[in-house]
Structure formats: structure tokens, C-alpha cells
Amino acid sequence: MTKGTEYIARRADDTGFIHYPQEEHDIWRQLYARQAVNLPGRACKEYLQGLDALGMPKDRIPQLAEIDAVLQATTGWKTAAVPALISFGRFFELLANKEFPVATFIRRKEEFDYLQEPDIFHEIFGHCPLLTNPSFANFSHMYGQLGLHASKEERVFLARLYWFTVEFGLLQPKDGPLCIYGGGILSSPGETLYAMESDAPERQPFDLLNVLRTPYRIDIMQPIYYVIEHIDMLDEIAKMDIMAYVTKARQLGLFAPKFPPKAKAS
């Protein structure tokens, strides 16, 4: 969250309105249209319910106030406009206050398929629908509170919990098919199809200690996904002594990566 970026977030005017040029609205429209085709039958029902509740525009970038009106009414959350990248400390502080950080820029066409830093499409389309769900919202709040009081070393382990749940989590109900609840997948056409239909990645039942010990890379399709049984399981995870598991994970160390090392720039 603290690495450099070429993107600059757009600032609101005195009325709180953010002005985006038409070409950026066009990118939102194209991204939305593509995922609208991919998600039925793949996204979890709680996400689709949240998408309906938000009623976000398909042809333009929504204003944060439009999203806030629904989040406040459902779970008491709201968005917070932030620069392209923020510190871990600021990230945890916002979540602890039930504010979801949204970088107010959208990717360029040359990075249409994949963007390492989260843009407004990733944050609003990928995450905000599930913030209407009490279990997901409660887990996010708890996570922020934990991270706010964690050490720098502990936060590195907590990042893996967020990565394999909020960002790249899968869900497998007893009475239904595998589906997606992680926003990093839901906002990515390529990862949506890969996570659900490819034989390449492993799909393992969620185990907190294993999750905390699993390395990941942000610039590749994930080689492993952790699967919860139902969205309410996030409430059960939130009640666990997560920091005790972090301590144990630090003692045991990380698993061997399931991916090659990142190539060094020449």
C-alpha cells in the first residue's frame, strides 16, 4: 500500500461531487458490462443481493454519496475517498471506523485487464456490494480494529488473512455450487473465470493458521484459494483469537511459495 503509483485520485469539489471525464465513465461502463456477463452463476448470492441493493449506475462512475446512502442504511458503513495508495495504518484506521477506503481514480485502457493497485472499480464494484451484508461488514470492522493495534510484523501476517478472504475468498455452500465473495476476483474478469473454472489453482478449506502462513503475490493469478462454507463463517472467524494464531504463525514460519519468485527488473 505504500509503493509508488502513477495514478492520481480525483478530488471532490466544494459540494462533494467528483468530476470525471467522459473517457473515464466509458471505462467504467466497459468494465461493468464485461463483469455483468461473468458474475451470474459465479458470484455468491450475498454479493448479487448487495449489487442489487446498491443499484449503482452501469454507464458512469458512481458518486460516493450514492454508495454511502445504501451502506449507511444497511450496515452503518460509508466510503472514504483516498489517494491511490495509503499506509497500512491509515487503512486499518478507516476500517476500524467503518469507513471503506476508495481510491477515486479508474484504470487506463492499457491496464484494462489487470491493475495492481485498487481503483474505484475494484473498490466499488468488487467490495461495496458485500459491505451491505452484516457478516462481511462485521468481519471488516473487526479486521480494522485488530490491525490498528497490531505491530508492523503482525500486520504482515494479518494482510494474508485479508488477502485470502476479502480479496480472494471463495465460498462453497453445502447445498450449492462453488462461488466467489472476494472482491479481487469479482472485479477481475480473468480471475473470475480462472478461480472458478481452471484446474490450475488449489482450493483448500479455510484454516486460519494455514492462511496466515501462506505467501502470495499480487501480480499473478492466485495458485491457491481458501474456501469458506457460508458468508456467516466470517462471523465465526471474527470471534477467534486471531492474534494468538498470528503469534503461532510467526513461530512456525511461512509455507513454501506455490509460485516462482518475481523476475527482477533488468
Its sign, for the CA torsion 24, 27, 33, 38, is negative
Composition of the chain by helix, strand, coil, percent to 5: 50, 10, 40
Q: Is 122 annotated as a binding residue?
A: yes
Q: Determine which one of 117, 127, 154, 191 is catalytic.
A: 127
Decide if 110 is catalytic: no
Q: Determine which one of 24, 93, 99, 167 is catalytic.
A: 167
Separation between Cα atoms, residue 214 and residue 220, nearest integer Å: 15
> What kind and span of H or E run contains 212?
helix 208-212
Decide if 127 is catalytic: yes
Separation between Cα atoms, residue 61 and residue 127, nearest integer Å: 15
Q: Determine which one of 117, 187, 188, 191 is catalytic.
A: 187
Q: Determine which one of 99, 117, 122, 123 is catalytic.
A: 122
Decide if 122 is catalytic: yes
Q: Is 19 annotated as a binding residue?
A: no
Decide if 24 is catalytic: no
Q: Is 127 annotated as a binding residue?
A: yes
Separation between Cα atoms, residue 191 and residue 184, nearest integer Å: 8
Binding-site residue set for Fe cation:
122, 127, 167
Binding-site residue set:
122, 127, 167
Catalytic residue set: 122, 127, 167, 187
